[in-house]
Amino acid sequence: MGKIRVLSDTVANKIAAGEVVERPSSVVKELIENSLDAGATQLRIDIDSGGRRLIRVADDGCGMLRDDALLAFERHATSKLSDVKDLLSIATLGFRGEALPSIASVSRLLLETRSADETTGAAVEFAGGKLLRCDEFPGPAGTTVSVRDLFFNVPARKKFLRSDQTELAHIASLATHYSLAHPKKAFLLRHGGNDLLDVTPVETLRERVYQVFGSQTLDELIDLDMVERELAVVDAAEPETRVFGLRGFISAPQVQKLNRNSIFMFVNGRLIRDRLLMHALSAAYHNLMPPACFPFALLFLDCDCEEVDVNVHPSKTEVRFRHGTFVHDFVRGTIRERLIAARPASSLPVPSQPQPAAALPYSDFTQRIENQQFEPVPDASIPAERIEDLPVFHLKTSAAPEQRFDFESVAPQPVPDTHGPLPYAAETPQSLAILSDLRPLGQIHDSFIIAAGRDGLWIIDQHVAHERILFEKVLRQQAENRVERQHLLMPILLELTASQQIEYAHIASELERAGFDSEPFGNRTIAVKAAPAGVGPADIEKLVFEILEIAEGELRKVSVDDLRRGMAASIACRAAIKINMRLDQSKMEWLLSELAATKCPMSCPHGRPIALRYSTRDILKSFHRI
């Protein structure tokens, strides 16, 4: 007899559960997604012991007929796909038909559901994947799934669970993100007696951000509004136009996080982690923020379902774009434009250091939950509520979260009630027109220019200011193909490594465009005969190697645009006036007026601040005059 056997469904479900159900928050994710797919407008999530003891998600969605309620636990049973063609245009969050059977195979699960059209619904109970009962259910329309004793029959998995607080923090972060993606729906997350998230329906994402994070955070964020871009698809049988939309919030460059945990991306309403989008985001902040720092971002990308393949991973957290480069450049370009338009000014005292981010998303929010001490909940209190009562929401007002960003030394304003209306429209970012009438007073250490302005005192780093001016000038000249170059009396010979030689061949034409005149000179050697104007002979060698390094990139092939920006930044840095250099009055005046004319006068191409401002108000305050 052969050795190969087809696994029973019970075993297959347990294997699938390994991928789908990693921890309590994965259960919450699948259940929330099902409720959203069912058209629910109110979602209530009850958790006990970090989800170990109980996860219950109740919704007021479409509910299920009795037969469907049973069928839902069959492997690959779904109402969301019928044909393989449907896989190309998935508009629902679920589609694999794996979640319910997987969760049921590793827990004790009770599903109670009634469709609004029927007088009775069904209550179905499973333990470790075995059906225990299927009764009539007379309760309210909608669906409630209660998952108890997760992994009770998979001790190995249970051992990997972290503390209740950590698991709860994951759950809270997840519920928060889905609440941000669906401002018009009510979300209530309760752990024991505590409401961790309690948001009523609002019209806009802005209001939801306010409900979740409070007014101070909202003030520090830049609203992308809704930006749309069309893509003409020529490879289709009939040429078509596809529309991509991007909206959400991003932080100004001075909000600097040490890791990516404050970055949230949704593609067609689905929370995902995607390297391409992540790269587009960092590229947008390139030169505005130091390289090892990350912003806060809440991005919603919407496109035709055909443009994105969501069937990449069982947990559905990864996607693949059909036109990846277009998506990348659209996201990067849109964010960058908004960042440059917002032009942040640094104030004195210096902007805060990068804020450490916890190992979890929305660090401060979830961290607080992790640190919070919860009263142990007596067993009896869990099933105490009558199931019929569950979908009825009594949304309580809870305090707004603490403010997350604190880079102004001004005392924090009290945050108004979470569910109050937005108190005011966000102010437009401070205009930097004030830079144009700065009067230089002198230098400190021959390095920093002190200037008096309409609204206070300014200190300007002369090197980075000049770097910014040259950076924009070089980019302009490159775009117009008229760079200034200097011919060298003697060519400089540079020896390259094998990989540098490959990169050199790739970017030779770009080097020329940037003002270099170079050619191969024997094996692995190049001769540089001309270089961009302003770069001292001693710096030319370093500059070429720096550019080759930029071209090598890391994550994905560096785009031409990135390469050009990188080259311009390096050239500007090498050609800019240095610190420890005395400048006369006319030079300082020239520098400040040129700086005022740049598009982004507040940070150098490498992300360092250029100017610090001590506002008149701060001066008055420091002298106790106000």
Residues that bind Mg ion (CB under 5 A): 34, 94, 99
CA–CA dist 242, 319 (Å, integer): 18
Q: Which is nearer to ligand ADP, 48 or 112 (CB)?
A: 112
Query: Which of 71-79, 248-256, 275-283, 608-616 is the region at the interface with ligand ADP (rule: CB under 6 A)?
Result: 71-79
Cα–Cα distances (Å) from 459 to 358, 537, 602, 611, in that order, read: 34, 31, 12, 6
- With CB cut-offs between 5 and 8 Å by kind, which of ligand ADP, Mg ion, none does residue 75 bind? none
**If we measure between CA atoms, which residue out of 472, 468, 466 comes closest to residue 449?**
466
Amino acid at 61: G
Q: Which is nearer to ligand ADP, 391 or 605 (CB)?
A: 391
Say if residues 623 and 617 touch (Cβ distance below 8 Å): no
Do the strands 121-127 and 130-137 form a parallel or antiparallel pair, or are they unpaired?
Answer: antiparallel
Contact residue for ligand ADP among 28, 55, 64, 104 (CB under 6 A): 64
Q: Which is nearer to ligand ADP, 59 or 503 (CB)?
A: 59
* Helix, strand or coil, per DSSP, at residue 294: strand
Q: Which is nearer to ligand ADP, 81 or 470 (CB)?
A: 81
Q: Is 467 in the site for ligand ADP (CB under 6 A)?
A: no
- For the window 131-170, what string marks contact with ligand ADP as x by the rule CB under 6 A? ------------x---------------------------
Q: Which is nearer to ligand ADP, 16 or 180 (CB)?
A: 16
Task: Compute the least distance from the CB of residue 44 to Mg ion, in Å.
Answer: 18
Amino acid at 30: E
Task: Compute the least distance from the CB of residue 268 to ligand ADP, in Å.
Answer: 15
- For the window 19-58, what string marks contact with ligand ADP as x by the rule CB under 6 A? -----------x---xx--x--------------------
Q: Which is nearer to Mg ion, 73 or 365 (CB)?
A: 73
- With CB cut-offs between 5 and 8 Å by kind, which of ligand ADP, Mg ion, none does residue 62 bind? ligand ADP
Task: Compute the least distance from the CB of residue 381 to ligand ADP, in Å.
Answer: 25
**Crossing angle for the helix pair 537-552 and 560-575, to the nearest 10 degrees:** 160
Contact residue for ligand ADP among 27, 72, 168, 438 (CB under 6 A): 72
> Cβ contacts of residue 362 below 8 Å, gap of 6+?
173, 176, 177, 261, 262, 264
Task: Compute the least distance from the CB of residue 121 to ligand ADP, in Å.
Answer: 10
Q: Is 608 in the site for ligand ADP (CB under 6 A)?
A: no
CA–CA dist 593, 136 (Å, integer): 78
Q: Is 576 in the site for ligand ADP (CB under 6 A)?
A: no
Q: Is 129 in the site for ligand ADP (CB under 6 A)?
A: no
Task: Compute the least distance from the CB of residue 103 to ligand ADP, in Å.
Answer: 8
CA–CA dist 615, 348 (Å, integer): 8
Residue 619 has which token pair?
A: 């001066």
Q: Which is nearer to ligand ADP, 143 or 598 (CB)?
A: 143
Do the strands 297-302 and 263-267 form a parallel or antiparallel pair, or are they unpaired?
Answer: parallel
Q: Which is nearer to Mg ion, 27 or 567 (CB)?
A: 27
Residue 548 has which token pair?
A: 């080759």
Say if residues 558 and 550 touch (Cβ distance below 8 Å): yes
- With CB cut-offs between 5 and 8 Å by kind, which of Mg ion, ligand ADP, none does residue 266 bind? none
Q: How many CB atoms lie within 10 A of CB 56?
A: 24
* Phi, psi angles (nearest 5°) of residue 161: -70, 140
Cα–Cα distances (Å) from 23 to 162, 171, 176, 208, in that order, read: 9, 10, 17, 27
Q: Is 478 in the site for ligand ADP (CB under 6 A)?
A: no
Task: Compute the least distance from the CB of residue 386 to ligand ADP, in Å.
Answer: 19
Task: Compute the least distance from the CB of residue 39 to Mg ion, in Å.
Answer: 14
DSSP single-letter state for residue 439 = E
* Helix, strand or coil, per DSSP, at residue 215: helix
CA–CA dist 210, 415 (Å, integer): 10
- With CB cut-offs between 5 and 8 Å by kind, which of ligand ADP, Mg ion, none does residue 61 bind? ligand ADP
Query: Which of 61-69, 223-231, 301-309, 521-529 is the region at the interface with ligand ADP (rule: CB under 6 A)?
Result: 61-69
Cα–Cα distances (Å) from 55 to 31, 236, 313, 570, in that order, read: 9, 46, 24, 54
Contact residue for ligand ADP among 13, 26, 78, 261 (CB under 6 A): 78
Residues in contact with ligand ADP, counted by CB under 6 A, come to a total of 22
Q: Which is nearer to ligand ADP, 103 or 345 (CB)?
A: 103
Show contacts with ligand ADP in window 95-124 (CB under 6 A).
Answer: 95-100
CA–CA dist 475, 206 (Å, integer): 35
Task: Compute the least distance from the CB of residue 21 to ligand ADP, in Å.
Answer: 11
Say if residues 180 and 209 touch (Cβ distance below 8 Å): yes
Contact residue for ligand ADP among 9, 70, 75, 79 (CB under 6 A): 79
Residue 91 has which token pair?
A: 């508009």
CA–CA dist 494, 504 (Å, integer): 11
Q: Is 317 in the site for ligand ADP (CB under 6 A)?
A: no
* Helix, strand or coil, per DSSP, at residue 298: strand
CA–CA dist 155, 233 (Å, integer): 51
User: Which residues of this chain interact with ligand ADP, rule CB under 6 A?
Assistant: 30, 34-35, 38, 59, 61-64, 72, 77-80, 94-100, 143
